[in-house]
Structure 1
Amino acid sequence: MTPTSDIPLTRQLVRHTRAKAASSDDLAMAALFVLDAVANMLGGRNSEPGRKLLRWAGNGPHKPTAPFDTGAHALLMGALTHILETDDLHRASVVHPGCVVVPAAWAVAMREGSTGPDFLRAVLEGFELTTRVGMGVGPAHYRIWHNTATCGPYGSAMAAATLLGLDEDATVDALGNAGSQSSGLWEFLDTGAMTKHLHAGHAAQAGVQAADLAALGFTGPPKILEGPRGFFAAACPDGDVTQVMSRADGPWQLVLTSMKPWPSCRHTHPAIDAALELHQTLHHAGPDDIHAITVETYRAAFDVCDRPHANSEYEAKFSLQHCIATALHDGDVTLGSFDDAARLKAHRMASGIEVKVVDPYASAYPRDWGSAVEVVMTDGTVHRAARDCAKGDPEAPLMPPDVVAKAIGLMEFGGVAEPQALAEALIALPLAEALPELPVFA
């Protein structure tokens, strides 16, 4: 489908976003999402890919003791934020906006000396752009392309353009050139390669560089989204560009974004939530007491997370079977639930779990991400729990104390010396004259 307006879609997006009012509550919510993203970033340092990224930043052409190129800084922070699989997720677009927008906005804001409120406004606008583009791409795009990687550059460019004070024409140029850099394929899933982290980092970097160039008058295509050789024509065979501007009078898309309580692919979360309920009843049952376990879910969850045998920590984070077996057996899913010992413990139960695509979950996606878990005992007893959404969704949000506790845990995992103080500084961004320093290289 094509837009009904003669105004290019990127220009419509810029006008819509710049005109949208941001209340004090909106800024406070944005600060919570920044806290969540920063905690993921700092926690991501304590991982094999995180250490490799820090070696690249410290031993490559960019030294942390010298001025660090803003685009490369955004790439590093974005990639770190997307490692532990505990960063936010916007359901309608299937985009992780925080790992792209927050690093890009942070890198530019630190360079420009922006205030906390100006930074948070840019974060709101960046979330709005990346998720609105994602709302239109369609399910066929997601089967090949990683939406965070392909839609992310629009959000990072918008956030950077706002912090740079670019006018409407220059912002459209930035979005055009950012969109032309959209890329990111799911092929990494077959081997558990580290590429997914690079997706977030590149999307953050692409937007920063596009905005910096636009500030110098470097032009970009105004119809990058809907043009005959644009993004939707190239990569969205069942996309609907009219969805990009849908429900424009609603709340900021950041407010409609979910936070993750568990460190695994978001597609596993409604089933984890259901399995944790069943654990309360079944925690005394042994493997010989269980006849069958079935997970009912939607197509995208099946396509990405039907993995009965997880051969690595990262594959386990994308395995419905491993996550459900762990939740049923342990009654919790933590950062330690995916290592060699955890996979070995869960293997027997996980290998026998069947995943099915069924309604109502199939037809409700992506509006709702739901699942059910059914356990049939050897004596014929059936136990079942179902979720229309997951913990952390707007319908069942994490409360601010929960977000702070999660963030402090992630920062402690990442070796941050004073996580409470940093968390308090990030929560206070709506009134801050400047952004605090982040111990990314510490």
Structure 2
Amino acid sequence: MKKFNTEPTAGTLTEQLVAQLLHKPITTADRQRSALHVIDWLACVAGGATAEVAKAFASQLTFINNSAATASPQATATALWQGKTDWQSALQYNAALGNVLEMDDVHRSSILHAGPVVIPAALAMAEHCQASLDQFLDAVILGYEVTIRIGQAIGRSHYRYYHNTSSCAAFGAALAAGFLLKLTPQQLVWALGNTGSRTGGLWQMRHEDVMTKQFHNAEASKSGVQAALLAKAGLTGPAAILEGPQGLFAATSNDATPEKVLATSAHWLMHDCTFKPWPACRHAHPAMDVVIQAFGQNTDVDLNENIESKGLKYKDLSVTVQQINIGCYQDALTFCDRPEPQTVLQAKFSIQHAVACLLVFGEPKLWHYQAEARADKRVAAMRRKITLFLDADIEANYPTHYGASVRIRLTSEPHTISYQHQDTLGDPERPLSQQQIMEKADYLFKHNGLTLAQRQQLLSFNWFSQNDLSALTQLLLPSSEKTTKSVMHQATQRGAHDRD
């Protein structure tokens, strides 16, 4: 067990962190960035609501809504596009769905997704406390910050067994909720301490075809909020939960760097997050991107387009590509080296499948991970042509940079093409434009079945012309023409074969 310095200082890590963050100014530009993350998360939830896992969480939501106990003024929280309910039920549903499509934002060096855990916690408590839009956006910023700092500090050894999003973003949910509840600095420390005392989330789920990841996110978000509410009621918690002799770092990591919790930055770390352009695990994106770049730099083939609409020249790729060797960092191999995926989930965690679909279909779409695409003979043949290996140069730069290298052999000129990149599309060094983020959101909203008018209202929402949170949440309710049940039914029936 690694020991950390516990000599008396100006305070424990959580005490110093709370003091530091509460005095850091938040600008209009920071809130604008926060709003982009909220829109991206809302779109991911909308798209995720069509997935099979959503049925389980929706069934709990329906059961609770139909009970006499909640047919009351307690129904103040919004379960997205389902209706009003109590905050616990809304939070569980909303927090479960943000990561279903593997299109949620990500922070590289902390190797986690803050949004699916922090934003639903902030939304539930903002509605509960009748907070303003600005307060909601500020809570999201603070939640991301503590999540990312603890994720950076906890070390890569933690990620070997623990789902960082679950274990670290729970702290973000607690701070976001505590800020909205107007907790004192001492109460915030208690909330963080109690959150950390039960946090976790094991990766065993990645070895089985299960839906546990969504349960992780929902529980992490709920536990953070619950810890904040209990702290407000006087429940004390351990201040040295991070660096203590039996704290989080000692118990779950052998390479933690506690000083990173207090490392200052000129900007809020939310600005360092990546917006994901495509479905699939982020560890698959560097390989996808490097193949796109290799063809784009060396041929006239644009894999960002719909190949099936471009004629024989593009369709010939399934024949002309002989072999593809992709160099990756170790975590990409650990999570995404899967040459024969059998399920939707496995396909999203398969570099071979993601790249094969690029070469057969072009622009990545949600349906590429469904049975139809997995069984496509051209895709299956292409998967078998792809081999992965550990690239020492790429590994040396990870997790600060998510890169990949590729060497492709073709039957025609040029017979060999190669490419290597250090940063992937969507990363801060190669960011998506605001228009691209909005186009992604529109695609996911449409996948859910939102009308053109509904999509336009959300995408053009003016976050700064008013400060009333209800102006946003009223756009997140089911349309008056549809019951909650019919919304879920129609979305599920459309399923994932939507090729829009």
Distance 1:327 1:114 in 2: 44
CA contact (8 A) 2:194 2:227 kept: yes
Aligned with 1:374: secondary structure?
Answer: strand
Deviation at 1:2, TM superposition (A): 3.3
Match runs of 1:363-402 below 5 Å: 363-378=396-411, 381-402=415-436
Q: Residue 65 and residue 272 in structure 1: after superposition, are their counterparts in 2 closer, same or farther (change >3 A)?
A: farther
Distance 1:166 1:191 in 2: 41
**Which one of the candidate residues 107, 110, 123 is aligned to 1:90?**
107
Confirm or deny that 1:261 pairs with 2:277: yes
Confirm or deny that 1:200 pairs with 2:217: yes
Distance 1:421 1:289 in 2: 45
Q: Residue 383 and residue 189 in structure 1: after superposition, are their counterparts in 2 closer, same or farther (change >3 A)?
A: same
**Which one of the candidate residues 411, 414, 420 is aligned to 2:445?**
411
Confirm or deny that 1:422 pairs with 2:492: no
In structure 1, stretches of 5+ residues that fail to align are none
Aligned with 2:339: secondary structure?
Answer: coil
The corresponding residue for 1:439 is 477
Deviation at 1:45, TM superposition (A): 0.8
TM-score for the superposition, normalised by structure 1? 0.95
Match runs of 1:12-411 below 5 Å: 12-60=16-64, 67=75, 68-246=85-263, 248-280=264-296, 281=299, 283=314, 285-345=316-376, 346-378=379-411, 381-411=415-445
Letter in 2 for 1:398: L
Distance 1:72 1:141 in 2: 30
TM-score for the superposition, normalised by structure 2? 0.84
CA contact (8 A) 1:310 1:319 kept: yes
Distance 2:317 2:227 in 1: 56
CA contact (8 A) 1:279 1:331 kept: no
CA contact (8 A) 1:278 1:328 kept: no
More deviation, 378-387/211-220: 378-387
Distance 1:286 1:9 in 2: 55
Aligned with 2:201: secondary structure?
Answer: coil
Deviation track 1:23-43 (CA, whole Å, cap 9, x = no partner) reads 111100100001101111122
More deviation, 103-112/52-61: 52-61
Letter in 1 for 2:410: M
CA contact (8 A) 1:268 1:320 kept: yes
Deviation at 1:157, TM superposition (A): 0.2
CA contact (8 A) 1:279 1:328 kept: no
Letter in 2 for 1:402: Q
The corresponding residue for 2:493 is none
Deviation at 1:284, TM superposition (A): 5.1
Flag the structure with larger Rg: 2
Query: Kindly, what percent of the aligned residue pairs are identical?
Result: 33
CA contact (8 A) 1:271 1:387 kept: no
Deviation track 1:97-125 (CA, whole Å, cap 9, x = no partner) reads 01011000000001111101111111000
Aligned with 1:385: secondary structure?
Answer: strand
CA contact (8 A) 1:71 1:209 kept: no
In structure 2, stretches of 5+ residues that fail to align are 76-84, 302-313, 479-483, 488-500
